[in-house]
Structure 1
Amino acid sequence: MIPERFPVTQRLAEALTRLRPEDLTAVAEDRARIAFLDTIGVTAAGMAEPPVRHLRRVLGCVEAMPQAPRDRALVLGTAAHALDYDDVAFGGHVSAVIVPALLALLPEIPPADAARLPLAYAAGIEAWAETSSREKTLYNAKGGHPTGLLGPIGAAGAASVLLRLDIVATRSALSMAASLGAGLTVNFGTMTKPLHAGRAAEAGVLAALLARNGMTAAPDGIEAPNGFLQVHSPGGTPDLSMPVALEQSLLRLETVSPSIKCFPVCYAAHRAIDAALALHAMPDCDAAEIAAVEITTSPRHSTTLRYRDPQSVAEARFSLEFAVCRALQTGRLGLADLASNALADPELRALMALCTRHLSDEVDPRLDGYAAHDAVRLHMRDGRVLESPHITRPLGHAENPLGQEDLDSKLADCLSQKTGMPTPAACHGMVNALRDDAPAAYKDLSTLAAALW
């Protein structure tokens, strides 16, 4: 018997429009605050990256912030993802889409409604996760980029709540956004990959603004037989009968926190990087004495990290060999390490040539596409073999979170990449003020958004 198809689009719209700022607990609000601060930082650091420069030239906004909200979202979302340093959750780069969409809409709302920004962020997470949770297999398995596909729905949900859209308009925005997603993993390691996040933010903003002005879409754009879930499903078996979670439980942001990245490279490499850093910290580990490097990871992550011999910094972000060997060589992997001079280092290149990948057939029981663990084994020239710990959750993962000192250090490093940005303390102050003094926070965030340009 075929299960009854649940009206996901309608009921999700109803649940989102019922949300109020007081629905957020302190835990969820703190997670939204961390996401805003982290995304502000990586956006500031990413504004000078080549894909953003090209985009600004084409849009004619090299010197100033563009007037159209969709253009602001497009540029800010691309910048937020340009360094691949932004957080991850529910299969994609959630904050690099949702936060830029919300910042782009600041001029469209009254100052008092800045108090709704944390709620709107939580709503965007909810719309994204409600859709992604109906798949057992990530879209990556078929070559789709979840950020580009799910991002428009998340951004539309966030924008709809920020703009106070009614049920019909919110439903239209969600359904319209479901038609606007795109992104192929073949473009990982190129300038087009961050554009996926920018286009997703743009699509969500555009869908919400169009819906606010009366544009309509199918009432079942997410769950219809020819709707988002069925069309994009890697295995053709999405869960179409499950009720909308928000009707029966708390916001997902109450129980799940985005994972904050410690390194500006693809998240698929982070477990192996932690393994390499653990080896580097061993007193008897000298990178110059390494004879061979064995890296254990999953088949899907090996495919994602496709550049064994990267020729550009963009490719290096998707190179398992670069990430592991730079960590072994220097004991770090930060913004300064993702540079042409580091990539050209002959000692690093020689070490990368010693790498072998081992694809694990043991799977993580809870994370689709992951091995049971990632690890690095070193064969030293004197015959010794050094084994890393088995890494299942890298530092920064929601189950192995960064401390406040590390979060602040990352924010400071990112903000220092762009002149004219507020101090980390000032950024904390304006985000913390959203609840108690929304007009002041609105003014400060608007100034910050302008400083990004």
Structure 2
Amino acid sequence: MGSVTAQRATSVETGRGDRIASFVAEAGTRDYPSEIIHAAKLALVDYFACAIGGSGDPAARSTKAVAEQWKAPGAAQVIRGGKTNPAMAALVNGTMAHCQDYDDTHIGGAGHISAPVWSAALAVGGHRGSSESAVLSAFITGYEVMAHLGTGGIRGIGRNMQQCGFHPTGVNGVVGAAAASATLLGFDEERSANALSAAATSAAGFVASFGSDSKPYHAGRSAMNGILAADLAAEGFVAAKGLFEVENGMLDALIQDRRAIIPEIDFSDGWELLNNGYKPFACCRATHASITAAHKLTEKVRGRKIARVESKVHYNAPFTAGKTNPQSPLECKFSVPFCIAAALCGYKMVAADFDEPMVWDPAVRAILPKVELKPQREQPQFEAYMDVWLEDGEHLQSETKLFLGHPQNPMSTEQFQAKFMSLVEPSLGGKKAERLFATLMKFDERGALAETMNLVSA
């Protein structure tokens, strides 16, 4: 792949770190519009759906086992488990929420925000007995911080981090989690700055981990280390400042050729939470546009032999989901070619599909080596353009202009609830799952936090 030549925006202000710290410190003075509270509750519904749905996955079982072995005392609830201290609960819950790669994504490229940020807000809030409004404020604050640190779209921060081998969820998730924790601890600007900077110096997570237990661990570790950073700041820890500036900080370390266009940090310019996207398919977001295009051709290719498939995809697709011969259900989630082949064979690509029968389906495997990706430099992630040539000579075409789950093409209420029930009902049962959904949708009401934790406990 050729290097990106876009330069950094010349209008970027100095004092980015100060601006972020001020935003966190002022959280207690903000009144949130009703649409933002509603958006936060939707993110919470999706978060719990994904966490409960992933609670039996290997990475979730491993982190939960470690938490149980460490026996750290505390009042923070582990989903489908007991109680422990906030950091350990956030580790387990954040990992769970990202296990199936079914969780929400920020359209601007900042990564999976709810998994680390909701995990931190709920763990700290639950441990401290915080009010529902305080926990919501903590999540919104953490979301906005993490989104601003990773946004910019095609040539922005998050997308370029991925091309350099770094996972935005692992890198900026820890800062978002620290922001949520600092909000609940009522930090002033100085302590907020120390918490955020301590979090930033522990940022990590490699794209090379995708398709393994390490990817969901990025979200859980970010949640845990964000809480740790805030706890350190509460005890007087003084961190190095300047890590969030355009030069000589995180950005120069992670994107060393300065290829990215860095958007200004301006918290008064709308809410990034309204740019949250939700997944109808249980796999890497880079596969979704191509899956949608393939689904449009499913009936036309049924029973016919495919000679060749080409899909014009977002430039980052080969970086994040370019596996050509996946060997496990988890690896398949990070293979655009495999997901195209499976979608052409009629799989819906929901969580239940990603199991051994689909992985080794002979029909899917026959198509897989015939799929070629054509990355397009300026094509957004939500578009795909597909050509399918059949052995009988027919040439089929399909396109996706805006995949489902994008803020401008949102999942319907019925689709959203259906996803929730499909993930939660097998674990909690129908009545309990419906009760949890109703409780989460009224999370701004008193008593909802305690009821939620009671419903999701073991």
Give the structure-1-normalised TM-score.
0.88
How many residues in Structure 1 have an aligned counterpart in Structure 2? 434
Amino acid at match of 2:229: A
How many Å separate the matches in 2 of 1:46 and 1:302?
Answer: 25
1:84 aligns with 2:101: yes
Q: Give the equivalent residue in structure 2 for 1:69.
A: 86
Q: 1:363 to 1:168 in 2, by over 3 A?
A: same
Secondary structure at 2:203 match in 1: coil
Q: Give the equivalent residue in structure 2 for 1:117.
A: 135
- Equivalent residue in structure 2 for 1:378, among 388, 397, 400: 388
Unaligned runs of 5+ in 2: 1-9, 70-77
Q: Are the counterparts in 1 of residues 312 and 376 from structure 2 also a CA contact under 8 Å?
A: no
Q: Are the counterparts in 2 of residues 21 and 119 from structure 1 also a CA contact under 8 Å?
A: no
Q: Are the counterparts in 2 of residues 109 and 163 from structure 1 also a CA contact under 8 Å?
A: no
Q: Are the counterparts in 1 of residues 317 and 375 from structure 2 also a CA contact under 8 Å?
A: no
Query: How far 1:65 sits from its partner (Å)?
Result: 2.9
Query: How far 1:360 sits from its partner (Å)?
Result: 3.8
How many Å separate the matches in 2 of 1:207 and 1:413?
Answer: 36
Query: How far 1:391 sits from its partner (Å)?
Result: 1.6
Deviations 1:58-89 (A, max 9, x none): 33359943522111111111111110000100
1:313 aligns with 2:329: yes
Q: Give the equivalent residue in structure 1 for 2:205.
A: 183
1:132 aligns with 2:140: no
Q: 1:419 to 1:446 in 2, by over 3 A?
A: closer
Query: How far 1:416 sits from its partner (Å)?
Result: 2.3
How many Å separate the matches in 1 of 2:232 and 2:222?
Answer: 15
How many Å separate the matches in 2 of 1:436 and 1:3?
Answer: 42
How many Å separate the matches in 2 of 1:187 and 1:356?
Answer: 23
Query: How far 1:291 sits from its partner (Å)?
Result: 3.2
Matches within 5 A, 1:175-254: 175-223=197-245, 225-236=247-258, 244-246=265-267, 248-253=268-273
Secondary structure at 2:364 match in 1: helix
Secondary structure at 1:80 match in 2: helix
Matches within 5 A, 1:21-32: 23-32=31-40
Secondary structure at 1:194 match in 2: helix
Query: How far 1:228 sits from its partner (Å)?
Result: 2.0
Deviations 1:110-146 (A, max 9, x none): 34x2222222221111111222247824200111111
Q: Give the equivalent residue in structure 2 for 1:10.
A: 18
Query: How far 1:422 sits from its partner (Å)?
Result: 6.6
Give the structure-2-normalised TM-score.
0.87
1:409 aligns with 2:431: no
Q: Give the equivalent residue in structure 2 for 1:166.
A: 188
Query: How far 1:361 sits from its partner (Å)?
Result: 3.8
Q: Give the equivalent residue in structure 2 for 1:275.
A: 293
Query: How far 1:272 sits from its partner (Å)?
Result: 0.2
Amino acid at match of 1:69: P
Q: Are the counterparts in 1 of residues 252 and 258 from structure 2 also a CA contact under 8 Å?
A: yes
Q: 1:421 to 1:118 in 2, by over 3 A?
A: farther
Unaligned runs of 5+ in 1: none
How many Å separate the matches in 2 of 1:450 and 1:251?
Answer: 32
